[in-house]
Amino acid sequence: MASRASDHRGATSNPTWGARRVSLSDVAMFLAGDLLDERALEELIFGCTWVTMREADTRARSDDSPPLSRAYALLRLLFLPKGIPHGAEQTRIVLDPAIVSLLRAGRVSDAIEVACRQLAAKHFRPRRVIEDDVQDAALGRRIAAALLIPTWDTRSLLERALLPATESSSSENTHDEENVHVR
pTM: 0.65
The answer to whether 115 touches 99, Cβ cutoff 8 Å, is yes
Residues 153, 86, 149, 31, CA torsion sign = negative
Distance CA 168, CA 176 (A): 15
Model confidence over 39-82: pLDDT tens digits?
887 777 777 666 666 655 545 555 677 888 899 999 999 988 88
| pLDDT of 44 | 76
| Cα atoms found within 13 Å of the Cα of residue 126, Cβ hemisphere only | 24
Range with the poorest average pLDDT among 28-37, 81-90, 111-120: 28-37
Instruction: Note whether 41 and 78 are within 8 A (CB).
Output: no
